[in-house]
């Protein structure tokens, strides 16, 4: 039986790989005809796009863009190709729901395209965290000020590289808490509603946590979100936010708005907004602007000082690879720090004191000069060592340099998606098809590389659960976000063009095998079921362990 399955798999692979090759051949002739086209046109009039770069290289190398060879040659040209070695790639065999029969070896790395959710672990983390633990072993309480990464000062080394990454001054940055906590702290300071200005602006499809923060902050002032929360939404039938619409809202409603909380890169669609332009428009109307950089930091160039935003917050475990639950960071524009006075509205804790007086246990708060005055509690040196391991890698380069590779890498993913997969059909056609679903895909992320980072968000005509199940079997890691998006982020620090090529060939195979599929349950229901079942399984495995602990009396909770 299992031999039969093996044979079946083998046959399937052969069929689809050949199909893929013949498709590549067909593409070569397309390129050749494109060449003819090009020679009769002034190439300077062709706008710079990743596709144009690929076409030029393809001609120069005599290799079709759609071939494995092309990806390999792109990797050979990639100045970042060796950075991959600095990260741990999970093995396929360790991943849930992997189909072991598809493995060539037990040692195969997974295809990781999920840096937008949790960045991979820098290998140096092991050694650096061990050094922190050793320091604690060896020095006990003296590890606060002595030895490797003294605990009490452990957040300070990250400030300089972090300031560089977000285009700020070191004193405007503090490393503390998690993102949601920080958004609350910052809004406690910056959202000071009065009779006239009491509204808050946020995107309608904000990350849920940001939305909870916004609504609960309003309520903490006795203000109802129904009255006071203005949500930014795409136009009807569109997926992306329209900047002109946002500016119009600033102009129309601005006099009543206290704070606007904007994303730099929208988590669901991958859209990069022109924060500079939006900030100026909002501030012209007297609105305070806060930016959530969760999906922007380490991904796209960020220039907080130039953009002149009032405050910002971000997590560090996505493109910044600091590990799950990694320590967060904030930015406070210098103008607030220089005008700080005793009445500055903020939550205070002993760790916000100046380093000079922090341990004198003074009754009066003596704020640190800079954003550090927002710190409340002493930080974990383990988290800071994890963050520093990653920032040291970023310090070997810059986000601006990485952006050049991103332009090509994400552009290559987009180019290949468009070459090999039917794009979404018009509404009419798909209605006519009734419940026979032809697999097609729509990229909802902007196609202009200036309006996006690494991530492309894909919407499939077939249930996401089918694609995701196949991905899991094959050890392809990207994530799905309800209601209907798959997010794929080739990350320039550690992903290669060959990674993208493999993603495409796998997806192509999957599409070949779900040609015409009638589906009874809709996308959403299937997914929700799968999510709930998986979460329940994880929880029950934890709680049964702790039950066992309590029986043996070792449960200290």
Ligand X SMILES: *Cc1c(COP(=O)(O)O)cnc(C)c1O
Binding site for ligand X (CB under 6 A): 178-180, 207, 209-210, 267, 292, 294-295, 315
Q: Which residue has the tokens 């590289």?
A: 161
Write the DSSP assignment of 100-152 as a string of letters. GGG-S-TTPBPEE-BTTTSPPEETHHHHHHHHHHHHHHHHGGGGGTSSSS-GG
Is 292 known as a binding-site position? yes
Cβ proximity to ligand X, 207 vs 471, nearer residue: 207
Cβ proximity to ligand X, 294 vs 382, nearer residue: 294
Which are the contacts of 497, defined by CB distance < 8 A and separation ≥ 6?
Answer: 70, 71, 72, 74, 75, 78, 408, 409, 412
- Cα–Cα distance between 519 and 131 in angstroms, integer? 54
Least Å distance between CB 314 and ligand X? 8
Least Å distance between CB 518 and ligand X? 36
Is 179 known as a binding-site position? yes
Cβ proximity to ligand X, 329 vs 493, nearer residue: 329
Q: Which among 268, 355, 343, 345 has a CA at the least distance from the CA of 311?
A: 345
Is 378 known as a binding-site position? yes
For residue 459, how many C-alpha atoms fall within 13 Å in the half-sphere facing its CB? 14
DSSP 318: S
Is 24 known as a binding-site position? no
Is 295 known as a binding-site position? yes
Cβ proximity to ligand X, 315 vs 402, nearer residue: 315
Cβ proximity to ligand X, 119 vs 370, nearer residue: 119
Which contiguous run of DSSP H or E holds residue 173? strand 173-175
Is 524 known as a binding-site position? no
Query: Which tokens belong to 441?
Result: 């895909």
Least Å distance between CB 479 and ligand X? 11
For residue 44, how many C-alpha atoms fall within 13 Å in the half-sphere facing its CB? 0
Least Å distance between CB 130 and ligand X? 25
For residue 162, how many C-alpha atoms fall within 13 Å in the half-sphere facing its CB? 30
Least Å distance between CB 316 and ligand X? 9
Least Å distance between CB 77 and ligand X? 32
Strand ordering across the sheet containing 329-332: 173-175, 329-332, 311-314, 288-292, 257-263, 199-203, 229-232
Cβ proximity to ligand X, 264 vs 337, nearer residue: 264
Is 207 known as a binding-site position? yes
Cβ proximity to ligand X, 71 vs 186, nearer residue: 186
Distances in whole angstroms, Cα of residue 221 to Cα of each of 169, 185, 194, 266, 429: 32, 14, 10, 28, 50
Least Å distance between CB 294 and ligand X? 3
Q: List the binding residues for pyridoxal 5'-phosphate.
A: 179-180, 207-210, 292, 295, 317, 350, 378
């Amino acid at each position: 039986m299992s031999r039969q399955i093996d044979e079946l798999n083998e046959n399937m692979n052969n069929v689809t790989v050949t199909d893929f090759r013949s498709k590549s051949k067909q593409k070569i002739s397309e390129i050749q005809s494109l060449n003819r086209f090009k020679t009769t046109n002034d190439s300077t009039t062709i706008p710079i796009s990743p596709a144009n770069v690929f076409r030029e290289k393809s001609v120069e190398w005599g290799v079709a863009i759609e071939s494995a060879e092309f990806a390999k040659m792109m990797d050979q040209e990639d100045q970042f190709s060796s950075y991959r070695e600095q990260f741990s790639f999970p093995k396929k065999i360790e991943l849930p729901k992997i189909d072991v029969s598809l493995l060539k070896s037990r040692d195969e790395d997974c295809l990781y395209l999920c840096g937008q959710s949790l960045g991979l672990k820098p290998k140096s983390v092991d050694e650096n965290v061990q050094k922190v633990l050793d320091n604690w072993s060896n020095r006990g309480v003296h590890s606060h000020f002595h030895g490797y990464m003294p605990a009490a000062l452990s957040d300070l080394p990250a400030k300089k590289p972090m300031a560089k990454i977000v285009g700020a001054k070191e004193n405007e940055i503090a490393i503390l808490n998690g993102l949601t906590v920080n958004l609350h702290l910052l809004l406690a300071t910056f959202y000071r509603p009065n009779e006239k200005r009491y509204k808050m602006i946020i995107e309608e499809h904000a990350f849920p946590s940001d939305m909870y923060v916004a609504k609960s902050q309003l309520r903490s002032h006795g203000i109802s979100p129904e009255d006071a929360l203005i949500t930014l939404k795409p136009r009807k039938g569109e997926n992306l936010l329209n900047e002109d619409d946002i500016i119009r809202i600033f102009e129309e409603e601005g006099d009543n708005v206290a704070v606007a909380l904007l994303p730099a890169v929208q988590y669901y669609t991958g859209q990069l907004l022109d924060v500079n332009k939006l900030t100026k428009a909002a501030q012209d109307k007297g609105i305070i602007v806060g930016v959530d950089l969760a999906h922007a930091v380490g991904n796209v160039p960020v220039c907080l000082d130039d953009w002149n935003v009032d405050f910002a917050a971000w997590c560090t475990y996505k493109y910044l690879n600091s590990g799950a639950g990694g320590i967060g960071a904030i930015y406070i524009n210098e103008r607030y720090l220089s005008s700080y006075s005793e009445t500055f509205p903020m939550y205070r804790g002993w760790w916000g004191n100046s380093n000079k007086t922090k341990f004198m246990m003074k009754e009066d708060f003596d704020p640190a000069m800079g954003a550090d005055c927002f710190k409340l509690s002493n930080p974990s040196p383990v988290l800071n060592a994890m963050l520093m391991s990653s920032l040291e890698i970023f310090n070997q380069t810059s986000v601006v340099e990485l952006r050049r590779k991103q332009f090509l890498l994400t552009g290559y993913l987009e180019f290949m998606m468009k070459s090999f997969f039917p794009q979404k059909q018009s509404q009419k056609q798909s209605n006519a098809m009734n419940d026979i679903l032809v697999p097609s895909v729509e990229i909802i992320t902007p196609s202009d590389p200036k309006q996006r980072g690494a991530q492309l968000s894909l919407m499939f005509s077939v249930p996401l659960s089918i694609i995701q199940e196949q991905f899991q079997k094959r050890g392809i890691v990207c994530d799905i976000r309800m209601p209907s998006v798959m997010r794929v982020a080739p990350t320039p620090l550690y992903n290669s063009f060959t990674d993208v090529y493999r993603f495409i060939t796998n997806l192509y195979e999957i599409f070949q095998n779900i040609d015409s599929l009638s589906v009874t349950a809709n996308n959403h229901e299937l997914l929700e079921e799968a999510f709930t079942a998986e979460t329940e399984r994880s929880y029950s495995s934890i709680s049964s362990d702790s039950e066992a602990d309590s029986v043996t009396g070792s449960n200290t909770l």
